[in-house]
Amino acid sequence: MDHLAPSNVPVYSTRSEATALWSRCADRGQPVLAVRDARRGFIVHYDLQHLGKQLKPRSVQRLRERIRNRRPYPTETDPVSEAEAVGGEAGAISGELHAPTERDARQLASHLSVFVLDDRHLRDAA
């Protein structure tokens, strides 16, 4: 699998649901890509740590560019930091990106899945 449709992105809201999801992905040898229903919006999580993998540097750069291109900065000025520009953290091993609605979060996760689920973007963690 190298892409995940928005409707197939798992959504969780409790610690026990998160634990079950991470365990299921680890058992299947798959990256975690899911949306957390948080108190004030939604958070797209991706995690490769349990696989001993990370995104290649060029893939991290492209992932961040893709996110920035989908999210115009609200005040139409340059963001102060990379985290502000992408709406959270987008690292080589894991990331947490914020979205205002479940629909937006699922769409964002679907776009990220191209990087996170495709082995061509991954390498062994250092």
Tens-level pLDDT at each residue, the chain (126 residues)? 578 999 999 999 999 999 999 999 999 999 999 999 998 899 999 999 999 999 999 999 999 988 888 765 555 555 444 455 566 789 999 999 999 999 999 999 999 999 999 999 999 997
| Three-state SS at 36 | strand
**CATH (domain of 46):** 3.10.310
Cα separation, 30 vs 117, in Å, equals 8
- Flag whether 10 is in a domain: yes
Whole-model pTM: value is 0.86
d(CA 99, CA 51) in angstroms, rounded, equals 26
Range of the domain at 90: 6-124
In a domain, 102, yes or no: yes
Is residue 83 in some structural domain? yes
Please provide the DSSP assignment of 54-82 as one string: EE-HHHHHHHHHHHHHHS--TTSS--SSH
1 lies in some domain: no
Give me the residues paired with residue 99 across strands.
42
